[in-house]
Structure 1
């Protein structure tokens, strides 16, 4: 009998729909504790596959007979072995996760955020396994992409399906937790690639400087992308106000947390820049703007429709990082609550600068692991 598999797309749908499912993760305990597939109605058991080489008898009583079981490993090979063993033991409801955690890390789901003024549309691309969020603004046959991941074919194919031409590609900052696809998309499509110049001092390629007050119109409609200089996560971090409705905050402000200022080794220098952006620049903006960040931390931040979005005014009420009046307390909170730095973040920064050009498999390895762009 052929081994039954489940695709990352189908598993992501189950996670978003909050279906009940039993997940048997056969990676090492350290890998599981560091990063796993999350959903509030998933039940978990972590048993390293090498503990199951002699058989699955010792875990049979820990597995449900009346619920689907998904077996996950790093790349999809060990999970196939364990799935076959469980099938032989009489479990007919077991599925191996196709491609393993590597495939889970790369999966992108486009979700429509809303229609825009004068007929445009805004889409959010949710990278559920990594917590990355990217965007496509569509208007009158043209498109702009913001904070794309390296899975560039997803955006290019989506634009083709929509019948639109990609004219502009933006990065809100020089990313350190994932490899940007912005430059590649620009090369593939002839689009302009925009970067904040203060983050681009070491890049090895040509780009369009994205500076405070810059306006880029998409299509022939009045959908302007207004750049707002907002340092703190990086010295060049730049936010966008799209269609006077949406605030794309990059890695400065998230739904349940704020950005970390240390990924260039300058936490003490940049922490007050972070406060200035959050407590003054953003405070001057309309509370009605809907925040669209470049990352989410936990599944609870996803709305019922699968988007990650919230009004700025609500975040000023509920986000702890926006409600620390004392500057010294803010500095202490930020600098003393930094999670471990992202996997291979220095190499990722150098890749995004164009200094190195790793092979595809090396790029996958560099990105493996959880999103760590926020202050805890």
Structure 2
């Protein structure tokens, strides 16, 4: 599909380019503050920022920096500005020029399913990578049934995936009450007649019915089960929950990431939850098998994406290399997780209230609330 020799590139196509480490030159025409806050990144991606308004009188400032012969993608917030600039670049004689369909909003919402593994009971485990937001959700498939953990609010990708694999949704689960993105768990459960599970300590203020997660009460999906252990792994929130799948995979929610640890301040209770966070990371998790494969609910940098886009790491290796797991002094740990934290997620208070059922924003309001990086980790650099 072309417009004045300009081609459209979808968020899915950009994702494949990033995951395959193909070369791409990006001209981001959003304002400087938005660009500095959040941008498309990749190992083979070169990117520059020239605000749209600086190009209205002519695109020479852009042409001077765009390499000849490279695939060029122009990006803006919603699409319109990038299409205009891309057309001007093409009119100046450049070829292989694209603009991002739907802008950064579409980039923020795209989900890429990545297979984690075949499970011992004959089932499968998939990770859904929300590459533009850093969110990770999971689907367990077994014997015609499915369970989804930490789903995003965009439920269509999960629905299409389940239809392709011929499975029925029986469980949706949130490891905790999310503050960076709106959960699709309740909406999915309502649409497909599934059971929605939440940790009760995070659900004190919710306005809807849910199934309590209880330690020792495994959740069955066909011939597979999500072993609820340790159910009580607080620190990011007071009810943060972990799951072990097939005795091999540890779903850590926002407690532990590959290169950092979860922040305890998004409910305004950092000082109260520091001890819980340390206990979970330095005792509960420490007593688990080092061979468990950690599957977190978020990633911070594109460098954390492995083969095919999978975000995972061996627990024993994380204890060797993750700085958040190697702070021996308790006072220093407390200081690390309560001071000099990265900015809090955009609209995190409103997102928490939405996930409690207290707010019902429309689709566009939900998009605006979620724009930007997730910022659930102690370190974002």
Measured against the shorter chain, the TM-score band is over 0.9
Asked whether 1:84 is paired with 2:72, we answer no
Question: For the residues of structure 2 that align with 1:20 and 1:286, how far apart are their CA atoms?
Answer: 39
Provide structure 1 residue ranges, at least 5 long, that are not aligned to the other structure: none
Question: For the residues of structure 1 that align with 2:129 and 2:318, how far apart are their CA atoms?
Answer: 20
Asked whether 1:322 is paired with 2:340, we answer no
Normalised TM-score (structure 1): 0.98
CA contact (8 A) 2:227 2:243 kept: yes
How big is the shift at 1:212?
2.3
Within 5 A, what are the aligned runs for 1:1-376? 1=4, 3-219=6-222, 221-228=223-230, 229-376=232-379
How big is the shift at 1:213?
2.2
Question: For the residues of structure 1 that align with 2:140 and 2:265, how far apart are their CA atoms?
Answer: 30
Question: For the residues of structure 2 that align with 1:311 and 1:94, how far apart are their CA atoms?
Answer: 41
SS in 1 for 2:6: coil
How big is the shift at 1:222?
4.4
How big is the shift at 1:88?
0.7
CA contact (8 A) 2:226 2:243 kept: no
Superposed CA deviations along residues 307-335 of structure 1, whole A, max 9, x for unmatched, are 00111111011101001111001001111
Normalised TM-score (structure 2): 0.97
Question: For the residues of structure 2 that align with 1:343 and 1:132, how far apart are their CA atoms?
Answer: 14
CA contact (8 A) 1:65 1:93 kept: no
CA contact (8 A) 2:123 2:224 kept: no
How big is the shift at 1:20?
1.2
Question: For the residues of structure 2 that align with 1:199 and 1:239, how far apart are their CA atoms?
Answer: 14
Aligned alpha-carbon RMSD (Å): 0.9
Superposed CA deviations along residues 194-249 of structure 1, whole A, max 9, x for unmatched, are 00000000000000001222211111x24343242100000000000111111000
Question: For the residues of structure 1 that align with 2:86 and 2:96, how far apart are their CA atoms?
Answer: 10
CA contact (8 A) 1:75 1:101 kept: yes
Provide structure 2 residue ranges, at least 5 long, that are not aligned to the other structure: none
How big is the shift at 1:11?
0.5
Count of residues in Structure 1 that have an aligned counterpart in Structure 2: 375
CA contact (8 A) 1:26 1:71 kept: yes
